[in-house]
Amino acid sequence: MNRIRTEQYRRLAGAAMTDPVLKKALAVLQARLGQGALDGYRELPEGPDLRRLGHAMRMHAISHLDLLHRHLARQVRANGGEIHYAADAKEAIRICLDIAKAHQVRRIVKGKSMVTEEIGLNPALEKAGLEVCETDLGEYIVQLAGESPSHIMAPAAHHNRQQIGRLFQEKLGMAYSDDPATLTLAARKALRKKFLAADMGITGCNLACAETGHIGLVSNEGNIRMATTLPKVHVAIMGMERITARMSDYAVLFRLLSRGTAGQPMAAYASFIGGPRLPDQNDGPQALHLIVLDNGRKKILADPEFREVLCCVRCGGCLNACPVYRHIGGHAYGFVYPGPIGAVLSPLLVGLERAKHLFQGETLCGACRDICPVNIDLPRMLLALRRRLKTKGRGIHRFRGAGEEAAYNAWAWTMSSAGRYRVTQHGLAIGGKWAQNGQGMIRRLPGKAGGWTSSRDLRAPAAQSFRRRQVKGK
Amino acid sequence: MANKLQSAEEFVNGLAHALGRDKAHPSQFEDIFPSDEHRQCALQNQVAHRSRKTQLALFEQLVARAGAISVDVIALASLDDLAPAIAALVDELDAKSTLVSWNHPFLTDIGLSEALAEVGAEIVLPENGKTDVNAAQCQTWRRAAARAAMGITGADYCIAETATLVMRNRPGQPRSASLLPEVHAAVIGLDQIIASPAELFALMGSPAAIESPSVTNCMTWVSSNSKTGDIEGELVPGVHGPGRMVIYVITGPDYPTRPHERMHESV
């Protein structure tokens, strides 16, 4: 597995919040991509119904994953490809290395794939003496910098052009430039050589199709097409949940994916790959291998409360809407999946206790649910994770002391009855009259509540609640 | 191989167990995931009976959609106008001297080589796939495509809603023709423009398509030029694939219809 640093969330988040480059970058990213997605949904001819349909389609597929995979296996083999099943990261890496050995592979090019980051594929391949080159521009940049990606769609979002310019100057030996077009051209030239010399292309899989055995892959850059056309071997690694039943499902799901990712009606390129090259074709790989990965997903599948998270198509939309992500960036989440999806998925994959700050650190504002192209209810699952953590016990303190427990219990008791709520409201109004200063503000609260007023004033409650005034007709 | 088969069964049973089933799903695929025959038929009919007026409206939609993403859509009255148009484009680009092209009914016998020779360009074709293509021939093609300034292809369909060219893998029509060169020029007929991805899948599932391989081992959708926003969100064209795309649409009534279906008939 990739290095897990979820325990360091608070430290990493704190550091990120003081990074001015990151601050600016994320504000721009969210304004462009997040708003773009929401605008894109409004342009859909089917309106919000398409997202509901997308959700139903994904849940239906997840609920019958066994049937889909049985069909997929048959189809992939019939098309001349090979399919493998990996229980965990170690197995997936071993299968990949075996394939590389069998085809005498030395040089590998990679399309952007979160699942390959999840299993820590690159370091393992390099350790085995293979050259691995990321080809998505953002992934290429973070690879040169020796970092991990900080965003699903824009892996190098945390860098500005000056930093990238200096990086390219150092690593590619080119004259310094901070012009994106110049830098992109340099990357194009360098990566073109890699594509043409590579023995193997490794990609993820956006959505496989059980009906026909095709692997559906999208990109804007064209690197996926390159990696799946030029090298003699193509290896695709898929999380087991990345599958749909019928080809016609792509008409719904790829349109939603493209809009959720970047507000586009359709990504620049979509490849539907069904098998290796046929003898009468002029290009294409000689061998196609599909590796289906479990790595903790089966456990999620078995849990009805969290099964819905498997509907995710990794568009990155939730990152583009989340106010928390906006301030702390992707690396703070300490594992390959950042943002709201990471706050739910990472704990389920690496352990609730270990990654608890991820789901505790979200605000439950619901922006992620509003932007998700397939209407996944992430806030529901964030709450469920908190509940799950509490009730699992085992040395985890529910409250930080008897006082806190008493306070929460008192609050719960008060709020669970209309009569007690009204009495408390009335009491607060009376108390507020005494605690306020001449301007109607409370400057100091007693005891633990003083933590609130240490840096801000609290407006005193009105003498009469709004509801009472309405009822009284004023 | 026997080992792997067992592994697939084990995997599937594991999923069934996780979903609370005793063993792998008892039902058939078609029962749980029925294909919407009714809708497929309706969409096929919609396309088959489309009037020229509606077809032209789709063309306008394509132009608007493509324009928004800087893809040029150029109407030509007939195939006779194609060779001069491509030659003019090559001239405008001040391109290097080699182009690559598909083996395609639209592109043969239109005087393309001659028109290109006049602007100092030559065209390289792939093996037509009537026989097996060997490794050396693949290499030759790859080198030509990697050097070429422009790749000329046809397409099976063009989806107006998303400005998507749909290209299925066929002998003599390699995918790298629309990938390696810096400019991609595609030629389609007016009636190849369809409304939506839903129509595309309905057409591919039609009885007529069953004789020909319906999806093939690689179907490629191209909906814009290659681009990235990975550096500070600034959009840069031509990252790995072509930076420029031009779609020629033959809008006059006299041209060979449904070239991909004809191609399959002749094989």
CB atoms within 10 A of CB A420: 12
Task: For residue A405, give how far its alpha carbon lies from the nearest alpha carbon of chain B (Å).
Answer: 37
Query: Where are the extended beta strands (E) located within A14-71?
Result: none
Q: Which residue of chain B comes nearest to A225, CA vs CA?
A: B179
Q: Does B175 touch chain A (CB under 8 A)?
A: yes
Closest CA to B229 of A25, A114, A144: A25
A:230-259 residues touching chain B, CB 8 A cutoff: 230, 240, 245-248, 250-251, 254-255
| Beta carbons of A271 and A224 less than 8 angstroms apart | yes
Question: Are A302 and B170 within 8 A, CB to CB?
Answer: no
Strand partners for A271: A217, B220
Residues 87-146 of A with CB under 8 A from B: 135-138, 141
Residue in A with minimal Cα distance to B224:
A268
Q: Does A216 touch chain B (CB under 8 A)?
A: no
Pick from A454, A25, A99, A65: nearest CA to A276: A99
The answer to whether A330 contacts chain B (CB < 8 Å) is no
Beta-carbon pairs below 8 A across chains A and B: 265
Question: How far is residue B206 CA from its own chain's centroid?
Answer: 18
Measuring CA to CA, how many Å separate A404 from each of A159, A396, A399?
42, 15, 6
**Neighboring chain B residues of A112 at a CB cutoff of 8 Å:** none
Chain A hits for B24, CB-CB cut-off 8 Å, are 66-67, 70
Strands B164-168 and B150-153: unpaired
Alpha helix (H) residue ranges in B94-155: 112-118, 135-147
User: B-chain residues within 8 Å CB-CB of A268?
Assistant: 222-227, 241
Q: What is the pLDDT of residue B5?
A: 44
ipTM of model: 0.92
Q: How near does any CA of chain B get to the CA of A285, in Å?
A: 11
Q: Which residue, chain included where needed, has tokens 């996780």?
A: B18
CB–CB contact B241 A225 (8 Å)? yes
Using the structure block, give the residue that is written with the tokens 């491509």.
Answer: B86
The angle subtended at Cα A400 by Cα A396 and Cα A401, nearest 5°, is: 115
B133: left (phi over 0), alpha (psi -120 to 50) or beta: beta
Between chains, do B25 and A156 touch, taking CB under 8 Å as contact? no
pLDDT value at residue A466: 85
Q: Which residues of B48-85 are buried (b: 16+ CB within 10 A; e: fewer)?
A: eebeeeebeebbebbbebbeebebebbebeebebbbeb
Q: Please, which residues 265-284 of chain A have a Cβ atom closer than 8 Å to chain B?
A: 265-284
What are the C-alpha distances in Å from A149 to residues A112, A139, A153, A355, B228? Answer: 10, 7, 9, 19, 16
If you measure CA to CA, which chain B residue comes closest to A69?
A: B12
> How far B254 CA sits from the closest chain A CA (Å)?
30
Closest CA to B13 of A224, A70, A150: A70
Cα-Cα-Cα-Cα dihedral of A80, A86, A92, A94, to 10°? Answer: -90
Q: Which of A149, A278, A277, A263 is nearest to A201 (CA)?
A: A277
Q: Are A157 and A139 in contact (CB under 8 A)?
A: no
Alpha-carbon distance of A237 to A86, in angstroms, equals 10
Contact: B4, A82; criterion CB under 8 Å: yes
Alpha helices in A174-218 (DSSP H): 180-197
Q: What angle is formed at CA B57 by the lines to CA B56 and CA B59, rounded to 5 degrees? A: 60
Which residues in chain A show pLDDT less than 50? Answer: 395
pLDDT score of B264: 41
pLDDT per position as a tens digit, B61-75: 999 999 999 899 999
pLDDT, tens digit (0-9, with 9 covering 90-100), for A452-466: 888 888 888 887 888
User: Across the interface, do B228 and A220 touch by the CB < 8 Å criterion?
Assistant: yes
pLDDT tens digits, one per residue of A181-206: 999 999 999 999 999 999 999 999 99
Q: Could you give the count of Cα atoms lying within 13 Å of A324 in the half-sphere of its Cβ?
A: 26
* Chain B, window 53-92: residues with a beta carbon less than 8 angstroms from a chain A beta carbon: 65
Phi, psi for residue B70 in degrees, rounded to 5: 60, 35
B-chain residue closest to A79, CA distance = B217
- Residue B141: strand, helix, or coil: helix
pLDDT of amino acid A39: 94
| Cα B62 to Cα B94: distance, rounded to the nearest angstrom | 28
CB B218 within 8 A of CB A274: yes
Interstrand relation of A207-209 and A214-219 (parallel, antiparallel or unpaired): antiparallel
Give SS3 for A155. coil
What is the least distance, in Å, from the CA of A197 to any CA of chain B? 12
φ, ψ at B183 (rounded to 5°): -125, 135
Residue of chain A with shortest Cα separation from B21: A66
Regarding beta strands B98-101 and B122-124, do their DSSP bridges make them parallel or antiparallel, or are they unpaired? parallel
- Cβ distance A299 to B127 less than 8 Å, yes or no, reads no
Is A84 in contact with B7 (Cβ distance < 8 A)?
Answer: yes
Residues of chain B scoring pLDDT < 50:
1-3, 5, 210-211, 260-267
Beta bridge partners of B222: A269, B165
Give the gap in angstroms from C-alpha A379 to the nearest C-alpha of chain B: 23
Q: Quick check: B186 contacting A, CB < 8 Å?
A: no
Q: What residues of B are in contact with residue A45 (Cβ under 8 Å)?
A: 161
Residue B187 to residue B156: CA distance in whole angstroms: 10
Cβ of residue A221 closer than 8 Å to a chain B Cβ: yes
**Predicted pLDDT of residue A453:** 86
B contact test, residue of A141, A283, A292, A297 with most B CBs within 10 A: A283
DSSP, collapsed to helix, strand or coil, labels residue A232 as coil
Q: What is the pLDDT of residue A407?
A: 85
